[in-house]
Structure 1
Amino acid sequence: MSEPQKLMLVTGMSGAGKTTTLRVLEDLGWEAVDNFPVRLLRPLVREVLAGEDRVPLAIGFDTRTRGFEPQTVISIVKSLQEREDLALSTLFIDCRSSELERRYNETRRRHPLANGRTALDGILAERDLLEPLRRWADMLIDTSQLATNELQQFVRQNFGTDGAPQIAVTVSSFGFARGMPPLADLVFDMRFLDNPHWVEDLREQTGLDEDVANFLHQTDGFEDNFTRIRELLMDLLPRYGAQGKSYVHIAFGCTGGRHRSVYTAERMAAALRDAGYSPTISHRNLASRATDTVEMQTA
């Protein structure tokens, strides 16, 4: 008999990290679908089981999903759990109400259940609605004290598929003007590149913007040295894994942490994904204003 189809239902409080969790699962080899109508879950399962592919499947839904009703969800899932050809689990992503309120106020996003009221009103209404699912879920992750990259790391450690590399990789950018990252395993100084800060049209942009990317791509020395660094990492990462190291932090620095390091980190993360890794990426100083960074004309 073939292995049961692995299916995980992912739900939880809005703003707690459901979307982040699904993205990491997708990087790990799961097929992930967000905001899926629960009433279509049975037809989807029938279609998946009729095929030969047994890729793990993660289905995300929450209070914004059409036809969402906790007791209906529980009833459908209970009936599916009786199937021997299906390995079904449920994951609830939770977070303290005060922390969710802080996140919504910080990003100025509107809570889906606020309906013209405060974010906290929407959070409390959603918590009451989701309480039956929270009590019933097989697994619960509380992200109240987790940064985004920490949640990503937790998901990688607990839900990786057999075919995913075991070593967890973080790629980050930072500005030397604000100090080096204390826990980086490998640090690459990108200050040998021409600095977009001194190009007026690029100063207020970042390494995530196309104009800055084009500028750095064409900068003398970038492509050759990027290739050397990539080849070095492709050699080192398997060696770290063979020595039992489970976590590697690769940091790219420039003066302010907004242009050269950001672009290089993004390019390297993409190269690592192409090689089969699932890197976590973070930009420590990306939110800093260009005028707040310590820049020198020779940097």
Structure 2
Amino acid sequence: METTAAQPRDIEVVLLTGSSGAGRSTAARVMEDLGYYVVDNLPPTMIPEVVRLAAEGSTIERVAIVTDVRSRVFPGGTVTLINMLAERGVRPTIVFLSASEDILVRRFENVRRAHPLQGDGTILDGIAAEREMIEPLRGLADLLVDTSDLSVHDLRRRLEEVFDTPVGRQVRITVQSFGFKYGLPRDADMVFDARYLPNPHWDPDLRPYNGTDAKVSDYVLAQDGASEALDHLDALVDTVIPGYRREGKRYLTIAVGCTGGKHRSVAMARELGSRLAGPDIDVRVVHRDLGRE
């Protein structure tokens, strides 16, 4: 009886990478719960074969690969893995997880574990060595997730928002308001400064309210330069989105900041999110520092 080889199917491949201690294990569990076949702790040279087998005749449609400093013993490490997948026509979505240095130190101390690369040195030595090794991957990432201020549940929600349903060619944009006095968002692709607009904080009638309230929003959006800036931002995103699609990048984070993240940035972020939403663009608006005062 004559048989024919199974035809390869298009499958979704997500590559989870980043700093040790930044939440890769948690991310892997989330992806497994979302229906992904999770591959962890395999030599990079073996992973393309796993992807091939998944694409040929199996019922697996979504694969999440965890790669970390353990791959350093293989020539080229994670970059080699990406190239090997590309040779098979697979363009993985790269998720890069990171956290601030002090947070990483605290996490390793809390679980009383050594950093994989610290050797006879300190945890900080291990973090520095790893950062030098993985930094090139940050520039290749489709989605940057800084977990410094995220709980396990926050990280789960973040990944569920992105991967809970197949996205196809859709681009997902997160517009995030923030306060400069609390620090820049570490995972933003674009940052816009709204501090050039008059601050409602100095108006006693507006101070108790925030940018989600109509009276504050109307005030901010009526200022000279507000609408024009939003027009330019909208046009800029329209310009770069086709390039993002060509490069396979489907996730974009735009941060809009003011002093405290309560009035101007909130109003501008909400309006920008409303303008950017469309049939092929899924927009989520979040307010990082609202209510923090």
The match for 2:278 is none
Note if 1:56 corresponds to 2:62: yes
In 2, distance between residues paired with 1:91 and 1:142? Answer: 11
Note if 1:32 corresponds to 2:33: no
Q: Secondary structure at the match of 1:45?
A: helix
In 1, distance between residues paired with 2:46 and 2:143? Answer: 23
5+ long unaligned stretches in structure 2: 1-6, 167-293
Q: How is 1:1-299 mapped onto 2 (pairs within 5 angstroms)?
A: 4-65=10-71, 67-68=73-74, 71-81=76-86, 83-84=88-89, 86-161=90-165
TM-score by length of 1: 0.49
In 1, distance between residues paired with 2:24 and 2:96? Answer: 8
Q: Secondary structure at the match of 1:39?
A: coil
Measured on the aligned residues, the alpha-carbon RMSD in Å equals: 2.2
| Residue type at the aligned position of 1:74 | V
The match for 1:245 is none
Whether the aligned pair in 2 keeps the contact of 1:7 and 1:56 (CA below 8 Å) is yes
**Structure 1 residues 109 and 57: alpha-carbon distance in aligned structure 2, compared to 1, 3 A threshold:** same
**Structure 1 residues 152 and 68: alpha-carbon distance in aligned structure 2, compared to 1, 3 A threshold:** farther
Residues 64-92 of structure 1 deviation map (CA, whole Å, 9 limit, x = unaligned): 246345x44324423423545x4522111
Residues 99-153 of structure 1 deviation map (CA, whole Å, 9 limit, x = unaligned): 1011112222111111121111111111111111122222211111111111111
| Residue type at the aligned position of 2:134 | L
Whether the aligned pair in 2 keeps the contact of 1:15 and 1:100 (CA below 8 Å) is yes
In 1, distance between residues paired with 2:82 and 2:107? Answer: 31
Whether the aligned pair in 1 keeps the contact of 2:21 and 2:108 (CA below 8 Å) is yes
**Structure 1 residues 37 and 2: alpha-carbon distance in aligned structure 2, compared to 1, 3 A threshold:** closer
The match for 2:184 is none
**Structure 1 residues 2 and 50: alpha-carbon distance in aligned structure 2, compared to 1, 3 A threshold:** closer
**Structure 1 residues 123 and 66: alpha-carbon distance in aligned structure 2, compared to 1, 3 A threshold:** closer
In 2, distance between residues paired with 1:87 and 1:5? Answer: 10
Q: Secondary structure at the match of 1:92?
A: strand
Give aligned pairs, total: 160
In 2, distance between residues paired with 1:90 and 1:44? Answer: 17
Runs (4 or more) in structure 1 with deviation over 4 Å come to none
Q: Secondary structure at the match of 2:46?
A: helix
| Residue type at the aligned position of 2:46 | L
Q: Secondary structure at the match of 2:108?
A: helix
In 1, distance between residues paired with 2:50 and 2:119? Answer: 32
Whether the aligned pair in 1 keeps the contact of 2:55 and 2:61 (CA below 8 Å) is no
In 1, distance between residues paired with 2:84 and 2:8? Answer: 21
The match for 1:213 is none
TM-score by length of 2: 0.50
Whether the aligned pair in 2 keeps the contact of 1:19 and 1:34 (CA below 8 Å) is no
In 1, distance between residues paired with 2:135 and 2:151? Answer: 24
Whether the aligned pair in 2 keeps the contact of 1:94 and 1:142 (CA below 8 Å) is yes
Moved more, 120-129 or 99-108: 99-108
Whether the aligned pair in 2 keeps the contact of 1:62 and 1:68 (CA below 8 Å) is no
In 2, distance between residues paired with 1:24 and 1:44? Answer: 20
Whether the aligned pair in 2 keeps the contact of 1:12 and 1:18 (CA below 8 Å) is yes
In 2, distance between residues paired with 1:146 and 1:49? Answer: 34
Moved more, 149-158 or 71-80: 71-80
5+ long unaligned stretches in structure 1: 163-299
In 2, distance between residues paired with 1:102 and 1:72? Answer: 27
The match for 1:295 is none
Whether the aligned pair in 1 keeps the contact of 2:40 and 2:66 (CA below 8 Å) is yes
